Structure 1
């Protein structure tokens, strides 16, 4: 099976990467999810980007997700006179009044500014580059002292670390963007500035009113979100470690441990987690990353992140394709030493479904013991594939779905490779079809052992309740098997016992219409016996049992088994397989 990267790559589409040619190059480099940042660009621009992504993915036969990242209630300063510079120690006023700003005063897009921000609070501007301290409140104005000064320009972000603000999770712009996303059938929605579980539920209500329910990825970038992380994970469909605003809202020295905690909790919940912001930031203008950036990407993978995200690197950078290739190389190298995660999280976690969790754990634990080549998960919603992937098996998790949408959404999940299949009427048909499609895709080959995780009834979301072990092999013959162990060897056809006794080599498989006492010398040298005659009390059956040689009786069309073909006998099921098969 060809080597596959398990960690997924999210790339932000922008002016540097929006053309159809650039999209194709990014897909070839390894992008799994394309992010559209709705803080920038018109609906017409995003529609063209979506068209280019879908066209390229269809032509290349790839399942790639489109994630709509809505702006959210970002608080910003208003218009600022060009050249404004704040100096340390000066007085600077922030107000909710609509005014033009300069080096002395600025409008802030939050109506309750003077009500919710107390005296003594710290205020950060432009991602923390400037710091203010509130010294006085005058009506709608906050009078502040500049602690760390610097240049200030229009529409820069404002953060209030430690302050609890009363902000609606969705602006009118966000609602318009969500409606556009629903019409364009985006695969995922990234929700900005989530603070409470109720924020996710509010967005879901809006999406349902629009006629659909798209998985919501919560961006963890507020102090309140970190405090309510477990409850948010219970209602969202994944999270982003949004280290930009998070690093401003929290003490920067706390950020590495907060990142590890977010990833760990998401892993326990079986929800995909994306690590984002400045992962390869130097590659916006340089063809090589810094050593610190390489370590940052690798450590996020070792922490357990499902995906790593590029922002400016691919949106406006000079080397978007090279940035993706670099990230893919780091991921592949890091995964070579990735530990298998078979320890089982506590079942008391409120967001874990016990049956699915137990089956995902069991499948991952069984895989190395059986030498399995893949875990195949037929799935209607994607949940069974996610529950297996949460334990980070070393072998691929092949998700089979009849839904193109499910396939695209699973492109975000660590170690999952989605494949599209046709519908199946029962579990046997579903299993056979899934194994066949996995073979055609090159993930498994004749002789491989696979673990199939599925559910009964077929096609019911969330019904994962079944583990099967299957052999990937062509069946050359079926009959009644006798014996305790399988056997493999070269098939040799004989019609005459004398020729068989003289010519069969030790360890070969004897094939004949029937046998009697005259065939015993050949039977003693053979590793297994296949005959077209039947009868549990026949000479073939009795001698085979006495010699401890596996026997397959009553195989019709035995002549269709090619002479000289390596075969494997499975007496427990009475099957003759083509090739060397592990049973």
Structure 2
């Protein structure tokens, strides 16, 4: 199972139901609507299709609204684009003009007041560079340092200059109201500078009925990096937005800043997203570059919770292939991680409280006991996120009664969300969660799972309980001689039950003791269960020689077990568990 989550930006390339369905099936966990582009009508059409396909596939995928934020953008050009040449004069103006190769309007009216001669202005993620010659009135006159093609609505960054932009514009407020109305799960707040920015956007959401929406702060400027600790504390998650960050901050600083931000966010138990140009070449090409493959893998080694695709899925030629490629890289990289070392390193740097101690102990027990899964009982998602930060080797099956939390947990590393069913007692809640995981094929009979949650159940932030649980009903207990396991249909050869003639190849043979009548059946048996205590009994010797799972000293096995039922033989524990089906005519 892939643990690192994948966020896909919705756009023209995903407007086909078939393509969107393919993206879901190849690995999309979160759909992103980028409100720097498109109209509300366009976003509504995409969100509606997303929800329709999500419901058809019964996926817990979340919706993320990415705000414009306090950004500066070019307005429109005549014909949609213009080319500017190195050494030419080019004017950015707050007047309303139709852009051409000499000047273009900008969205920020305060630009002429914020810049001075010599300041650098970068456009389109730094591909175009301008140097300020003069600024007065409505105009900023610049010299083109690096030329190229400009087009409508390209982003503008000021290097070394703090623009006096309000954090939330009227457009952002309208977008947030749209997100509340259409049941988004996350807001990615662009250009967050400090904790006050986060509180401002959370306050707006709360006031307008969107208090359940989680806020992901995008770190993409100097202020956001400088105030990273307070921003993490105020936020529900962090995005390392390398596009604008790489323009406003020296590019050689990006790798170590990425690692620092991921480490701090992981320690806080909050999801962290690595974004921008992850597989950028796949917008045009069917295969990624070697550098991109390594970039994706390194973000996973750094500890990122999720990877984000932007133009690759919104406007790219190969959206489904891109998602499949990212999923494949993630799955392979995750097999190379030392999860025990990761657990201990994370434990060392985390402040200790009851929830931390229980979450760590849960993951430690899962490692030591070889648990098939950790099941978290959670109302707010807090328990699941706290377990997730310790990066256990097994999947985290999160059972919650709230649909919003069910979807939001789709962003958390290693978490498979499940909807909880109503239950009257704590034991019923635990058993129901295990039963739903079993029914979904996430765990099987005989698996050992760790269940954790809070007491009393339903109170957020009270993770204080661990339970070790074996899936399925134990029918018989004995001693395994070779550690091999099997699943199959029983044939109980005993008086009043089946005869040797009833045995079919592939059955699990159950006997009271060895005899000539049953020894020749062992060669075609899936497993052998015998009440004999001796490891050197004829049946045990033959089964071991043929590498067939064998359990001895299975007390009263021929009395308890019934021919025709399906069971699982656990060779590690020496247990026989009930199965789910019976053999026709058995």
Q: Same fold (TM over 0.5)?
A: yes
- For the Cα contact (< 8 Å) 1:380–1:401, is it kept in 2? yes
RMSD value over aligned CA atoms? Answer: 3.3
CA deviation map 1:97-146 (0-9, x unaligned): 44455444443322332333344322112221222233444345444333
- Among 159, 162, 172, the residue aligned to 1:161: 159
1:9 aligned residue: 6
Pair 1:55 & 2:52 matched: yes
Report if the CA contact (8 A) 1:96-1:107 is conserved: yes
Q: What residue is the counterpart of 1:343 in the other structure? A: 344
Gaps of 5+ in 1: 478-484, 496-502, 507-521, 528-548, 570-575
Is 1:130 the counterpart of 2:128? The answer is yes
In structure 2, distance between residues paired with 1:231 and 1:294? 32
Query: Is 1:31 paired with 2:22?
Result: no
Aligned twin of 1:305: 304
Measured in 1, the distance between the counterparts of 2:531 and 2:16 equals 69
CA distance in 1 between partners of 2:311 and 2:442 (Å): 34
More moved, 559-568 vs 12-21: 559-568
SS for the counterpart of 2:47 is: helix
Whether contact under 8 Å (2:312, 2:319) holds in the other structure is yes
In the other structure, the counterpart of 2:322 is 323
Partner residue in 2 for 1:372: 371
Return the alpha-carbon distance in structure 2 between the equivalents of residues 127 and 6 of structure 1.
Answer: 30
Cα distance in 2 for residues equivalent to 1:272 and 1:244 = 19
1:43 aligns to what?
40
* Cα distance between partner residues in 2 of 1:236 and 1:404: 21
Alignment partner, residue 150 of structure 1: 148
Superposed CA deviations along residues 314-348 of structure 1, whole A, max 9, x for unmatched, are: 11111111111111111111111122111255788
Distance 2:120 2:352 in 1: 42
Higher mean C-alpha deviation, range 115-124 or range 455-464: 115-124
**Once the 2 structures are TM-superposed, how far is the Cα of residue 563 of structure 1 from its aligned partner?**
7.9
* CA-CA distance at 1:249 after TM superposition: 0.9
Check conservation: 1:280, 1:293, Cα contact below 8 A. yes
Instruction: Describe the shift of the 1:104–1:353 C-alpha distance in structure 2 as closer, same or farther (beyond 3 A).
Output: farther
* SS of aligned partner of 2:460: coil
Normalization by structure 2: what TM-score? 0.80
* SS of match in other structure, 1:411: helix
| Cα distance in 1, alignment partners of residues 562 and 90 from structure 2 | 89
**1:376 aligns to what SS in structure 2?**
strand
Q: Any conservation in 1 of the 2:125–2:247 contact (CA below 8 Å)?
A: yes
Which digits, 9 at most, give the CA deviation of each residue in 1:61-95, with x for residues without a partner?
21111111122222023344567544434444434
C-alpha distance 468-85 of structure 1, shift in aligned 2 (>3 A): same
Q: What is residue 202 of structure 1 aligned with on the other side?
A: 200
Q: Is the aligned partner of 1:227 residue 2:214?
A: no
**Residue in structure 2 matched with residue 270 of structure 1 by the alignment:** 269
Name the stretch that deviates more: 468-477 or 363-372: 468-477
- Check 1:223–1:473 CA distance in 2 against 1; reply closer, same or farther (3 A cut): same
* Aligned partners of 2:85 and 2:144 also within 8 Å: yes
Q: Is the 8 A contact 1:375 1:452 kept in 2?
A: yes
- Identify which of 72, 76, 79 aligns with 1:75: 72
Query: 2: distance between equivalents of 1:102 and 1:504?
Result: 92
Does residue 65 of structure 1 match 2:59? no
Distance 1:403 1:143, change over 3 A: same
Partners of 2:568 and 2:281 lie apart in 1 by 56
Task: Give yes or no for contact 1:426–1:458 (8 Å, CA) kept in 2.
Answer: no
2:209 aligns with 211
The 5-angstrom pairing of residues 534-573 of structure 1 reads 562=562
SS at match of 2:198: helix
Does structure 2 conserve the Cα–Cα contact (< 8 Å) formed by 1:486 and 1:568? no
Q: Is the 8 A contact 1:378 1:401 kept in 2?
A: yes
Q: CA 1:134 to 1:439, structure 2 compared with 1: closer, same or farther past 3 Å?
A: same
Show structure 2 runs of 5+ residues with no match.
482-489, 497-510, 515-529, 536-551, 580-586
How far the C-alpha of 1:153 sits from its partner, in A, is: 3.7
Q: Structure 1 stretch 269-278 or stretch 131-140: which is displaced more?
A: 131-140
Task: Give, in whole Å, the separation in 1 of the partners of 2:450 and 2:226.
Answer: 39
SS at match of 1:360: helix
Deviations 1:191-238 (A, max 9, x none): 111111111111111111111220011111112111111211111111
Distance (Å, rounded) in 2 between the aligned partners of 1:564 and 1:130: 74
The alignment status of 1:285 with 2:284, answered yes or no, reads: yes
Whole-angstrom distance in 2 between the partners of 1:358 and 1:385: 14
Pair 15,101 (structure 1): closer, same or farther in 2 beyond 3 Å: closer
Contact 2:409 2:416 in 1 (8 A): yes
Mapped to 1, the partners of 2:568 and 2:56 lie a distance apart of: 39
Deviations along 1:273-329, one digit per CA (max 9) or x if unpaired, are 111111111111211111111111111111111111111111111111111111111
Contact kept? 1:123, 1:158, Cα under 8 Å: yes
Q: How does 1:372-521 map to 2 (within 5 A)?
A: 372-476=371-475, 504-505=512-513
For the residue of structure 2 that corresponds to 1:446, the secondary structure is coil
Question: In 2, distance between residues paired with 1:79 and 1:91?
Answer: 19
| Structure 1 Cα separation of the partners of residues 367 and 222 of structure 2 | 41
Q: CA deviation at 1:526?
A: 8.0
SS in 2 for 1:342: helix
Q: Which residue of 2 aligns with 1:356?
A: 355
Per-residue deviation at 1:43? 2.1
Structure 1 residue 152, shift from structure 2 partner = 3.4
Q: Alpha carbons of 1:180 and 1:559: their partners in 2 closer, same or farther (altered >3 Å)?
A: same
Larger CA deviation: 258-267 vs 454-463? 258-267
Matched-pair contact (CA < 8 Å) for 1:493–1:563? no
Equivalence for 2:181: 183
